[in-house]
Structure 1
Amino acid sequence: MNPRAGLDAPAGLVLVVEDEPAIAAVERLYLTKAGFGVETAADGRAAWAAVKAHRPVAIVLDVGLPQIDGIELCRRLRAEDDWTPIIFVTARDDELERLLALELGGDDYLTKPFSPRELVTRLRAVLRRTNGPATRSRIVLGPLEVDLEQRSVVLRGARPALTATEFDLLAHLARSPGRVFSREQLQSAVWGHADHASGRSVDVHIAQLRAKLGPGSGIRTVRGVGYALDEQDAEAAATGSAG
């Protein structure tokens, strides 16, 4: 089966950071057949230089790397306000490691062994969320403004730096203020897939959103169900009330 079949046009250069040559070769093969340009790096220092030199549209980042590991590389990129989408891959099925990777600004997470077709699918989902067309250009909920075309957020004059996934979660909630979405619905709408690990990922990304937006984010937890974005809470935030 051709991995490119039924997929969209090329989306740009992807940086694959992987210290196992066989795995890097397979990832390069499938990403290239899917229409991406691919640059590879075998350690964290080389990856850092490659990000600066090539400005990839996305990074497929192994966690266990020589010199600078994937978690630290992500930390350094986000500290420099570089929000290039990152999909982590690792041989360890470690929940704490996965949650840390997401908290630092990772957009998705795959555990080895995984299907290279799934990697392509998840990468395209992240890029569609980053670059896809918007049905409405701007959503205003009290002091919260979500610009779907520019993919920017303003809350009480501040412009928080969000990852692609954090932005898409907020935008999805903002399109239907007051509506309660289950974790499964958010997984499907934002990640494009649903599994046990992603349910926890929703919680992590919501926590990150609240931390970045600050008091009065308007994001409400409905215990046992999921989350909603309440317009009245966002409006109350203009006067400093908690949401």
Structure 2
Amino acid sequence: MAERILVVDDEEGIRELLFAYLSDFGFDVTAVADGGEMRRHLAEHPVDLVLLDLGLPQEDGLVLARELRSRADVPGIIIVTGRGEPVDRILGLELGADDYIPKPFDLRELVARVRSVLRRLRPEGAAQPPPATAAEQPQRFEFDGWHIDLAARSVLRSDGTPVALTTGEFDLLATFVRQPNRALTRDELMDALYRREAGPFDRAIDVLVGRLRRKIESDPAEPQLVKSVRGVGYLFAARVSPDARSSDAPR
């Protein structure tokens, strides 16, 4: 039986993203917006894990974490939040959360943490679900009206017009799409694309970013998607979600 995950987050985009992404890994996912919806769901449907945002508009997520930990059927708890203060992380863990991951997060890291918590909570000797293969991972995404298919290595504008990218340009865009809203260093990008670090005078990534911007930015001189992060590298600032044409809507 698929392990059951409840996402509690007031941001609709986050709920949709986590619902679609985790569902593609074989989890049984439900997404709700606040503590009231969380309680109503748990009253009828036990879950194995709760992904809990701290910054809910009506109830503090830390209060909900304490409430979850006091249940007879205690689920695993991973706090997923934009709060950056160490005290929030410490309080969350002291209240019984099993893990804590800040926003923005890498989706692959989130899945790894989900599996780690579920593995720790699983009774000894219980059967473990088989790991997802690469083919089972999400392959089609959309951002800012664009559509990218990682398996087919295709990129389409909002009107369905294909855009020709070189191998390097496509691999760079795919790397950004997999890790949106996260500042990536040039070394990280070089490793992802070429399996090596950037040298002190290596401008390969900068050149590639410039070429990609000319193809996907409405104004390459004032980029809104691929942004420079001074002293670090680059950040993909688009809201990325699994392509609605290939994913179910969240429950």
Query: What's the TM-score once normalised by structure 1's chain length?
Result: 0.49
* Structure having the larger proportion of residues in helix: 1
For the pair shown, which has the larger CA radius of gyration, 1 or 2? Answer: 2
Query: What's the TM-score once normalised by structure 2's chain length?
Result: 0.47
